[in-house]
């Protein structure tokens, strides 16, 4: 194990962990930070390239057996760690890893047979993006596709809420969501289903899902954008009682994905 005691916080090897609460430079640098024992353990088991681990003395004994020999580990006192990251370092361990370049559809979507994709149109809340990833993993989605304006799927908060499931499930950041969905429709025989709050939409329980389905969820405030709504395909809604006019996007996703899976069981 390449463990090293850090004496000075000015050490440039710590720069990526510095003042994390007020900066997000890692995205521009092609990196991300995994936070907490569960997510760090999962990133260490994934095929992402991990550059380093920062760990407090308080956490070291309990986590030492999970640290690989090939990754540099920087050990800090608890006060040092909190000064470095800029907040109370309760989690005790973080890792810095490299983001991966975008992969073509063929690398993550089965060419034939059933496939489920979860798509987010401007889902801005990191907790909702994290929940979509975790729910997608739980119901066997082939991938999560996020359009422009969605929260960074590799931010610390998203990774924490998703419990690191995005480290093993393909997460695609589409530069143009409409174009990506059209490609899935036309080149890969996927049926794109739009989830809407619209009295003219088909009630979810009446829809016979196609085995190859994309479920699109919209922005927390104004739903799916007008341009995405122009795509051909079923428009689905969840009937609600007692004057309830909406559900959280993550709750809705759980209901939609459960309904799909009840009709199209996983292999």
pLDDT digits (tens, 9 = 90+) for 210-236: 999 999 999 999 999 999 999 999 999
Residue 117 shares a structural domain with residue 231: yes
For residue 133, the enclosing domain spans 105-263
The fraction of the chain above a pLDDT of 70, given in percent, is: 98
pLDDT confidence of 157, banded at 50, 70, 90? very high
Residue 151 shares a structural domain with residue 51: no
CA gap 196, 1 in Å, rounded: 52
CA distances for 188 relative to 48, 108, 114, 170, angstroms: 27, 12, 11, 17
Residue 34 shares a structural domain with residue 57: yes
**pLDDT tens-digit series, residues 121-133:** 999 999 999 999 9
Residue 243 shares a structural domain with residue 212: yes
pLDDT confidence of 243, banded at 50, 70, 90? confident
Residue 45 shares a structural domain with residue 117: no
Residue 125 shares a structural domain with residue 240: yes
Residue 168 shares a structural domain with residue 44: no
pLDDT confidence of 89, banded at 50, 70, 90? confident
- For residue 112, how many C-alpha atoms fall within 13 Å in the half-sphere facing its CB? 0
Q: Residue 1's CB: how many other CB atoms inside 10 A?
A: 13
Q: What is the pLDDT of residue 1?
A: 59
* Number of domains within the chain: 2
pLDDT at residue 161 greater than cutoff 70: yes
- Burial class of residue 161 in the structure, from the number of CB atoms within 10 Å of its CB (0-12 exposed, 13-18 middle, 19+ buried): buried
DSSP character string of 73-113: EEEE-HHHHHHHHTS---S-EEEEEEPPPP--GGGTS-SSS
């Amino acid at each position: 194990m390449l463990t090293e005691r850090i004496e000075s916080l000015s050490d440039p090897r710590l720069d990526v962990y510095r003042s994390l609460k007020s900066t997000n430079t890692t995205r521009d640098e092609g990196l991300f930070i995994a936070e907490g024992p569960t997510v760090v353990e999962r990133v260490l088991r994934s095929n992402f390239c991990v550059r380093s681990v920062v760990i407090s003395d308080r956490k070291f004994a309990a986590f030492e057996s999970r640290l690989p020999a090939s990754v540099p580990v920087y050990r800090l006192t608890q006060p040092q760690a909190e000064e470095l990251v800029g907040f109370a370092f309760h989690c005790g361990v973080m890792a810095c890893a490299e983001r991966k370049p975008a992969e073509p559809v063929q690398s993550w979507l089965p060419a034939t047979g059933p496939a489920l994709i979860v798509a987010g149109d401007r889902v801005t809340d990191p907790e909702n993006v994290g929940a979509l990833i975790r729910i997608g993993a739980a119901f066997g989605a082939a991938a999560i596709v996020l359009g422009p304006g969605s929260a960074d799927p590799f931010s610390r908060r998203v990774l924490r809420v998703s419990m690191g499931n995005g480290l093993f499930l393909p997460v695609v950041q589409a530069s143009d969501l409409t174009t990506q969905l059209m490609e899935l429709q036309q080149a890969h025989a996927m049926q794109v289903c739009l989830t809407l709050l619209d009295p003219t939409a088909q009630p979810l329980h009446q829809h016979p899902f196609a085995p190859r389905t994309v479920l699109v969820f919209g922005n927390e405030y104004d739903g799916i954008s007008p341009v995405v709504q122009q795509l051909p395909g079923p428009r689905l809604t969840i009937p609600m009682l007692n004057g309830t006019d909406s559900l959280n996007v993550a709750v809705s996703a759980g209901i939609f994905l459960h309904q799909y899976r009840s009709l199209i069981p996983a292999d």
